[in-house]
């Protein structure tokens, strides 16, 4: 056992662990409700997968309001969103708004809303241990760039994406598909410059096939099978060629090996494009600071969103978000097919508040992709619009717990649902 000295950082109403979209939405919502909030983030920026792993394609947000709409309005007003398909600028050179988000705009917006709401943000601070009694958390240990610190809160929001806090207190989880326990793949995204100015990329499915054939003709193989090139109005193309397999949440050696391999693959594939006529000047601009991890621990909660729920379009009284995005599994190993839905044709369905209440802890709320659900539902609800909604619901419920001195499981799910009405709109 290590003996660790930790300086106390004080007491809060709500401690949010993880500053991805879910964590920020939770922290800001709780603070706007009057709670004293600390947001703990292991990296040096907010946004998680969106900013660290460069995955700024806003899915399942069109029927939603709340903070995700605030973010969209903020970015649209600055020409910092653009069209996913087709032209990116109009005849007058004005950016055509759309679902693609500029990472720097996202970072600024998230910093600003935390700052405006009075959230205490701790960067370069990893939650690495929790004092608890049978899952009831008393104190967190943070390993930070400035030494070790401890803090406590009335309620804790688990928004680490990978379910790190829930795991620290012994909550049960699983990861991967039901047959072989293979998790969704990871991807190291990149950006490139020097492509032909009139090349729009692989916006449509037909473009992807043409492009894959072109790569094959030149002997270039990519682990994702179908590479993706998306043009931005900022002079670079978002490029993504890689997928890494079998990356589970508790194997740091394999994760690290895959990061090395995939970053090198991104470089090699982009450089290899220089032999393709028209792409001679293509060069790598950057790889993302972090590999994109689609799936981590899915924690078991009071309710587990099931395959039946998504096939039947389940509705709940304690609904916090209406999911409209299809099942998007990707390849689970190198020789797999890229068939996305695997026969799970969903109908729009609700995420219930109970799926955010972990079994095994009475003062923690789950927010983000670690909520309780089976593999195929996870492969549909995990996208940005829904994770923002789950975050806001967690923040609202956490503020009630702090104000009323009650447990998350004693919060009235119908009250949370009423607050979340902007995330429950039927698609038009």
Ligand X SMILES: Cc1cc2nc3c(=O)[nH]c(=O)nc-3n(C[C@H](O)[C@H](O)[C@H](O)COP(=O)(O)OP(=O)(O)OC[C@H]3O[C@@H](n4cnc5c(N)ncnc54)[C@H](O)[C@@H]3O)c2cc1C
Smaller CB separation from ligand X, 194 or 227: 227
Among 41, 158, 203, 392, binds ligand X (CB under 6 A): 41
Please report whether residue 270 would count as binding ligand X according to CB under 6 A.
Answer: no
Closest CA to 140 of 300, 1, 17: 17
Smaller CB separation from ligand X, 157 or 319: 157
Please report whether residue 9 would count as binding ligand X according to CB under 6 A.
Answer: no
Closest CA to 287 of 223, 248, 242: 242
Smaller CB separation from ligand X, 194 or 287: 287
Strand partners, 101: 81
Q: Which of residues 154-183 bind ligand X (CB under 6 A)?
A: 159-162, 164
User: Tokens 């398909």 map to which residue?
Assistant: 85
Q: What are phi and psi of 141, to 5 degrees?
A: -105, 125
- Number of H helices and number of E strands within the chain? 11, 19
Segment interacting with ligand X (CB under 6 A) among 34-42, 83-91, 316-324, 342-350: 34-42
Helices 103-117 + 66-76 axis angle, to 10 = 120
Among 384, 393, 400, 411, binds ligand X (CB under 6 A): 384
162, two tokens: 């990978």
- Distance of alpha carbon 210 from alpha carbon 108, whole angstroms: 37
Please report whether residue 48 would count as binding ligand X according to CB under 6 A.
Answer: yes
Give, as one character, the DSSP assignment of residue 274. G
Please report whether residue 220 would count as binding ligand X according to CB under 6 A.
Answer: no
Please report whether residue 43 would count as binding ligand X according to CB under 6 A.
Answer: yes
Q: How many CB atoms lie under 10 A from the CB of residue 126?
A: 18
Q: What are phi and psi of 255, to 5 degrees?
A: -55, -45
Segment interacting with ligand X (CB under 6 A) among 47-55, 173-181, 216-224, 228-236: 47-55
Chain centroid to Cα 427, Å, comes to 22
Q: Which of residues 347-376 bind ligand X (CB under 6 A)?
A: 368-369
Smaller CB separation from ligand X, 257 or 281: 257
Among 72, 297, 350, 382, binds ligand X (CB under 6 A): 382
Length of the chain: 428
195, two tokens: 């492509």
Among 13, 16, 37, 49, binds ligand X (CB under 6 A): 49
H runs (alpha helix) in 222-349: 252-272, 307-312
Closest CA to 423 of 21, 3, 9: 21
Q: How far is the CB of 413 from ligand X (least distance, A)?
A: 21
Q: How far is the CB of 48 from ligand X (least distance, A)?
A: 2
Question: Angle at the Cα of 28 (from 19 to 294), degrees rounded to 5?
Answer: 30
Please report whether residue 223 would count as binding ligand X according to CB under 6 A.
Answer: no
Among 14, 23, 229, 402, binds ligand X (CB under 6 A): 23
Q: Is the dihedral angle over the CA atoms 4, 9, 11, 12 positive or is it negative? A: negative
Among 9, 53, 83, 114, binds ligand X (CB under 6 A): 53
Tell me the HSE value of 137 on the side-chain side, using a 13 A CA sphere. Answer: 33
Q: How buried is residue 219: exposed, middle or buried, by Cβ count under 10 Å (0-12/13-18/19+)? A: exposed
Please report whether residue 59 would count as binding ligand X according to CB under 6 A.
Answer: yes
Determine the size of the site formed for ligand X (CB under 6 A): 36
Q: Which of residues 185-204 bind ligand X (CB under 6 A)?
A: 187
Smaller CB separation from ligand X, 38 or 164: 164
Q: Is 79 left (phi over 0), alpha (psi -120 to 50) or beta?
A: left
Q: How far is the CB of 16 from ligand X (least distance, A)?
A: 9
Q: How far is the CB of 295 from ligand X (least distance, A)?
A: 8
Among 9, 22, 166, 282, binds ligand X (CB under 6 A): 22
- Distance of alpha carbon 79 from alpha carbon 285, whole angstroms: 21
Among 383, 399, 400, 416, binds ligand X (CB under 6 A): 383
Integer CA distances (angstroms), 50 to 47, 217, 412, in order: 5, 33, 32
Q: Which of residues 281-340 bind ligand X (CB under 6 A)?
A: 292-294
Please report whether residue 126 would count as binding ligand X according to CB under 6 A.
Answer: yes
Please report whether residue 16 would count as binding ligand X according to CB under 6 A.
Answer: no
Segment interacting with ligand X (CB under 6 A) among 5-13, 19-27, 77-85, 412-420: 19-27
Instruction: Return residues touching ligand X (CB under 6 A).
Output: 17-23, 40-43, 48-50, 53, 55, 57-59, 126-127, 159-162, 164, 187, 292-294, 368-369, 382-384, 387
């Amino acid at each position: 056992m290590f003996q660790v000295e930790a300086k106390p950082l004080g007491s809060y109403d709500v401690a949010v662990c993880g500053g991805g979209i879910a964590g920020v939405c939770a922290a800001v919502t709780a603070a706007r409700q009057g709670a004293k909030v600390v947001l703990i983030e292991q990296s040096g920026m907010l946004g998680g997968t969106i900013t660290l792993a460069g995955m700024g394609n806003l899915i399942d947000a069109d029927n939603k309001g709340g903070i995700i709409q605030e973010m969209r309005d903020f970015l649209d007003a600055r020409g910092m969103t653009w069209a996913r398909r087709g032209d990116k600028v109009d005849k007058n050179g004005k950016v055509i708004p759309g679902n693609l988000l500029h990472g720097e705009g996202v970072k600024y917006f998230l910093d600003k809303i935390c700052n405006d709401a009075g959230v205490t943000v701790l960067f370069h601070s990893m939650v690495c241990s929790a004092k608890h009694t049978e899952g009831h958390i008393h104190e967190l240990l943070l390993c930070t760039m400035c030494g070790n610190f401890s803090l406590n809160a009335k309620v804790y929001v688990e928004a680490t994406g990978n379910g790190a806090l829930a795991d620290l207190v012994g909550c049960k989880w699983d990861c991967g598909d039901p047959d072989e326990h293979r998790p969704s793949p990871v991807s190291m995204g990149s950006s490139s410059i020097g492509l032909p100015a009139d090349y729009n990329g692989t916006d449509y499915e037909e473009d992807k096939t043409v492009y894959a054939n072109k790569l094959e003709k030149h002997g270039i193989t990519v682990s994702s099978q179908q590479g993706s090139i998306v043009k931005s109005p900022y002079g670079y193309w978002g490029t993504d060629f890689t997928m890494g397999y079998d990356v589970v949440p508790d194997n740091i050696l394999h994760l690290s090996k895959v990061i090395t391999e995939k970053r090198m693959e991104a470089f090699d594939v982009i450089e290899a494009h220089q032999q393709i006529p028209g792409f001679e000047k293509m060069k790598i601009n950057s790889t993302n600071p972090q590999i994109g991890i689609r799936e981590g621990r899915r924690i078991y909660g009071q309710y587990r969103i099931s395959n039946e729920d998504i096939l039947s379009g389940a509705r709940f009284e304690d609904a916090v978000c209406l999911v409209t995005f299809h099942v998007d599994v990707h390849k689970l190993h190198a020789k797999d097919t890229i068939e996305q839905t695997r026969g799970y044709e969903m109908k729009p369905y609700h995420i219930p508040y109970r799926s955010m209440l972990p079994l095994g802890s009475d003062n923690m709320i789950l927010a983000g992709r670690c909520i309780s659900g089976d593999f195929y539902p996870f492969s549909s609800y995990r996208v940005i619009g829904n994770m923002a909604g789950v975050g806001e619901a967690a923040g609202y419920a956490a503020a009630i717990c702090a104000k009323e001195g009650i447990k998350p499981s004693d919060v009235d799910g119908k009250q949370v649902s009423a607050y979340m009405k902007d995330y429950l709109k039927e698609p038009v």
